[in-house]
Amino acid sequence: MIGSNLTEGAHLHNAAMVCKSWNASIATGLTSMEVDMHSDPGMWRSKIVKLQSLIRHLRCVVIHVNAAITDDMLFQNIVLVQQLKGVSELKLHLREGCDLPPAAAAAIGAMPHLTSLSVIGGNLKPDAAASLLSSVAASSACDVVGGPGLRSLTLLPAVPYGLGDAEMAVLSACSSLEILEFRAYRLTSAGLAALSLGLPRLTRLAITSLDSDSGYELACLERLAQLAELDLALDNAPIGAASRRALCAVKPGRSLSLSFRWTDKAQGLLTEYGNRLANLTHLDVGACRVGSESLFEAVAQLTGLRELRMAVYSNADHCIPCHLSRLSALAALQRFQLEKRRAYFPEARRFGESSIAVPVTADGLRSLAGRWSRLRSLRLALSRKDYSPEALSVLSNFTGLRDLGILVERYPGSSSTTSSSTTSSSSSGAQQQHQEGVAEGSGGSFTHPGHAATASSSSGSSGSSGSSVNVGLGRLHRRTVELPPVLDLAWLPAGLHSLELNNLLLDLSEPAASFTAAAPSLQPLPLSHLTSLDIEACVVRQPLLPQVARCCAMSLRSLRLAGVVGLCDAVLSECLTTLPMLRSLTVSAPGNRAVSQASLAALSASHPSREGVKGIPVTDDEGSGGGAAAAAAAAAPWRLFQQQQQQRPLLPLLRHLTWESEDLTARGPDLSTLAPLTALRHLYLSCTDKTAERALGSLRVLQDALPYCHVDMVWTTARPGDGL
């Protein structure tokens, strides 16, 4: 049980040294491990030996490779990975600028015990891809004589790298594959035809970055007799009748997924062939220009959809209404995302809000919640005027939601942009007022539809355009601004795992007073299961963020705070000290002088729970003359252990950190605040390399303090290849 929760090799090694029993069984429940490849071959060999000796049931390994690893070093390190005989699943994440050499690619494909292989990111050149696929094809031949063979292969290198026609013949020889996902690069119908000649066991095929302008003959995929899932990500919708008919060639009962990056043809495609795409389960129409509500009507025909993503825009000279109720027939929907993008108006020669209205009302959401009983993910990115004042108060009706995103988009030239910039400009002064204890928000100016009749009527009279009120946030009460929509976090459904909020006015009310004293404790907290939280450009009161942190203290893994009005060092420190399981942290506070690196300094200080234990009591035994000295000698190891514990960072699992603050940008990083964060694997700083060098004396100092961390910043010169 304990070992299954240890994700760091150093922590597992220390736990194994406690006793013989722990050494034998601490890693019994651990089957996967995430490691970073070390640039020193000796250190990497030591790490592999420890993994092999401690984790005897290891099945999955995720390896991160940075650009500092040379080609020869990467090959030697991959050879060492082959010693992990029990590993059947390998995931290789190549960071930006990292090349996979042909020798290392061949070594990866030749690992005989692998059943699943993923290569994500980095540069995969044609010679390396050929070496990798040739080794995989040779290993697949072992399946004939009883070997396991590779069953799942994922190749998603960075753009513009991918697999083309030359690699399809070798890929089709990997006869043991059951799941195949890859990025295409200059792939034609001839390549698809060559691919379909092999792979007799393939059940799922996913291809991204397809260029549909060349016209694909997808009917050749019918040769894959076992194919049950087909996922195609095209740059544009097919323009020819033959290509469109090919989309309907997938046999009934199979799952078809279509994604478009940018298209004006999706509306015509769905209108003409929507009734023939009964097996379409996932649809991403990309950025689609609409001229009427017929797009929603065409999508409504696809009753088998489980996932729908739409990004719509229009520059028409009249408003086009698009009602969400048109999509209520999609009863099988599990994931839904709708974004209203900006449009270019040539007459005015400017970008602005699209001439589309997507009214979001309380009655409309309540009706959709009843129809979409299987919905697990909902993301709405609309304008301020699309949200009615009472709409967000009924979000709790979506009882099955696990992921939720409510975004209020800001468009050039709109009133919301003006008010948002006004709020942002007064953010710094507001934070200083917060720290001085002046005009702290009491929540009295926040309206709560559904909680009080007077507040509801007040919100209703304000209209959808918002109202000008005193929010009690520092200097904000001196200005008249148009406030964003109000969202009380108590309105959110219980059981959320991911929450994304943008340009909202946030509050957290107390439980209703009509319940008995024991009733509120029986109700689950709305955020008690939250693992990811993203708040951007929102207005919050000081007590809100610490309250949220306490609600999800043991579950939150990722936190992002960007441009939050109401954020200061005191609030941030209080939040971070209650989130011990945090693995990713992003703080972006440009123009906010109330946020500084002092918040990070609090992470390397002693834990509040440890402050009460200053030492163990020492009693003088009168019967022995040297009792005090003996007791002091016995207490010395404990005090040393206590000091080591107090010096440990409060976020021992933090691996990704992005920090942007005024003091960091102007004066550079403070080494004393970053050095204790030894678990970091990726660090991004808002300062330039010149500023960091002036603050530290040398950039090498930071790399030596964090040897396993990939450090990034704003580079004004060529990035050095020997460290950062």
The pLDDT tens digits of the residues spanning 262-280 come to 666 666 777 777 667 778 8
Tally of CB atoms within 10 A around 112: 12
Note the residue count of the chain. 724
**Most confidently modeled of 52-61, 144-153, 329-338?**
329-338
Task: Say what the pLDDT of residue 160 is.
Answer: 87
The torsion defined by the Cα of 434, 612, 640 and 26, in degrees rounded to 10, comes to: -90
Q: Are 200 and 225 in contact (CB under 8 A)?
A: yes
Q: Is the pLDDT of residue 73 over 80?
A: yes
Q: What is the mean pLDDT of residues 131-151?
A: 76
Q: Hey, which residues does 506 pair with through a beta bridge?
A: 487
**pLDDT (0 to 100) of residue 17:** 53
CA dist 559 and 426 (Å) reads: 24
Res. 129: pLDDT tops 80: yes
User: Which residues, in sequence order, are CB contacts of 197 under 8 Å at separation 6+?
Assistant: 172, 223
Q: What is the mean pLDDT of residues 306-325?
A: 90
DSSP state of 177: -
Percent share of the chain, pLDDT over 90: 37
Look at 12-16, 333-337, 496-500 and tell me which has the smallest mean pLDDT: 12-16
Strands 350-353 and 342-345: antiparallel
pLDDT band at 31 (very low <50, low <70, confident <90, very high): confident
Q: Is the pLDDT of residue 462 over 50?
A: no
Residue 15 has pLDDT above 70, yes or no: no
pLDDT mean across residues, the chain: 77
pLDDT at residue number 3: 43
Provide the Cα torsion 125, 130, 132, 137; round to 10°.
160
Q: What is the pTM of this model?
A: 0.78
Q: Which residue has the higher pLDDT, 411 or 343?
A: 343
Q: How confident is the model at residue 214 (pLDDT cuts 50, 70, 90)?
A: low
